[in-house]
């Protein structure tokens, strides 16, 4: 291969690399505001011993990749996996906390502290007697 063809091929490869990099960065930026989490459609029976923590304000429990919290008798649910590296978040001191890298989220799943900028998915919780239905 002569020198001219070599530089032409190198230039073409660099151009394709630049386009691909731009597309990847744009796709990451677009998804940064989209909450992430699994689809959910399940029930939680508050009378079962494994769900006893949910009967107390501030209590929480996890099921099907979703963490459910009792906020003074109102139930909320968000995706359990941190949107940074997938570690399980916990509920503490009125927010969700990721013990792996310190990300924090409010009770709506919005990021309140990095390293992530992607919110947790929030689910709809309806209560009928002692049964919670989590969907979304």
pLDDT in tens, 103-118: 999 999 999 998 999 9
pLDDT for the residue numbered 20? 44
Average per-residue pLDDT for the chain: 85
Judge whether 108 and 95 are in contact, CB under 8 Å.
Answer: no
Q: Look at residue 69 and tell me whether its pLDDT is greater than 60.
A: yes
Which H or E element spans position 9? helix 3-31
Q: How far is CA 107 from CA 12, 16, 25, 67, 93, in A?
A: 49, 43, 29, 11, 11
Judge whether 46 and 130 are in contact, CB under 8 Å.
Answer: yes
Percent of the chain residues topping a pLDDT of 70: 76
Q: Look at residue 124 and tell me whether its pLDDT is greater than 80.
A: yes
Tokens encoding 122? 């929030």
Q: Look at residue 79 and tell me whether its pLDDT is greater than 80.
A: yes
Cα separation, 122 vs 129, whole angstroms:
22
Cα angle for residues 68, 73, 77 (degrees, 5° grid): 20
pLDDT for the residue numbered 35? 84
Judge whether 59 and 69 are in contact, CB under 8 Å.
Answer: yes
pLDDT for the residue numbered 37? 87
pLDDT for the residue numbered 21? 44
9 versus 130: the higher-pLDDT residue is: 130
pLDDT digits over 16-64, tens only? Answer: 444 444 433 333 344 457 888 899 999 999 999 999 999 999 999 999 9
């Amino acid at each position: 291969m002569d020198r001219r063809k070599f530089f032409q091929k190198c230039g073409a490869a660099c151009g394709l690399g630049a386009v691909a990099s731009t597309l990847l960065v744009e796709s990451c930026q677009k998804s940064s505001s989209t909450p992430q989490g699994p689809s959910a459609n399940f029930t939680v029976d508050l009378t079962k011993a494994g769900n006893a923590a949910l009967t107390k304000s501030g209590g929480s429990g996890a099921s099907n990749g979703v963490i459910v919290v009792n906020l003074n008798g109102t139930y909320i649910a968000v995706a359990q996996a941190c949107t940074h590296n997938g570690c399980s978040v916990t509920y503490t001191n009125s927010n969700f906390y990721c013990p792996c890298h310190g990300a924090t989220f409010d009770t709506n799943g919005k990021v309140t502290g990095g390293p992530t900028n992607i919110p947790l998915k929030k689910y709809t919780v309806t209560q009928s007697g002692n049964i919670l239905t989590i969907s979304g």
